[in-house]
Amino acid sequence: MAREVKQVTFTKAAIPKLTRGAAYARVSSAKDAMHHSLSAQVSYYSNLIQSNPEWEFAGIFADRGISGTKDTIRPEFMKMIEHCQRHKIDLIFTKSLSRFSRNTLDSIKYIRLLKSLNVTIEFEKEGLNTSDVSSEIYLTWFSAFAQAESESISQNVTMGKRRQYKEGHFAFRYKNFLGYRPGENGEPEIDPEQATIVSRIFFASPPVSRIG
């Protein structure tokens, strides 16, 4: 009598789910040194995620030359949040809380949003993980410190520029000012080619009407 063989059906639920890992990187300046720093972050986290067999690579989101004080001006950050809302990411790595956001309210808002979506954030510098319930109070402190640091840097830069203006020194933005170029002595000089364009614009403009 032939022995009956029981057929076993494997479902998707029986397959262990890989943690979908991503990373967020940001530098606030587009200078070459900062570009190198961003490239290093992208390379580091790409290797970190893809070298773990229990993780599935979900992408690297990187904003270059953008401040962390506002969320809406960071396209890659907002794209990452959208992917989380679409349940494409389970774990996010970032270098520090200040890289994630320099605005305390935004930082806490997104940390809580991602926690509600079961997305964990790992802050490498601070050694904090949002899956830990006790970490939120520390994240609040660090967020406040990051914002205060950003505001202090901004104030120092502003004061420095005002001091230079008083001394008669200023940065001439040639890219945004048509008609001039850097001279041999460092002073602005007329750019003949651009001057022709300025002349055409001036003489082609209609006369300004005066009222009264």
What is the dihedral angle through the alpha carbons of 121, 122, 127, 133, rounded to the nearest 10 degrees? 40
- CA distance to 30, 131, 140, 156, per residue, from 134 (Å): 36, 9, 11, 34
Task: Write out pLDDT tens, residues 5-53.
Answer: 445 443 444 455 899 999 999 887 655 556 678 888 899 999 999 999 9
Task: Write out pLDDT tens, residues 140-190.
Answer: 555 555 555 545 545 545 555 566 556 555 566 666 667 777 777 767 777
The two structure tokens encoding residue 64: 């270059």
> What pLDDT score was predicted for residue 189?
76
Query: What is the pTM for the complete model shown?
Result: 0.59
Nearest CA-CA partner of 26 in 76, 73, 70, 72? 76
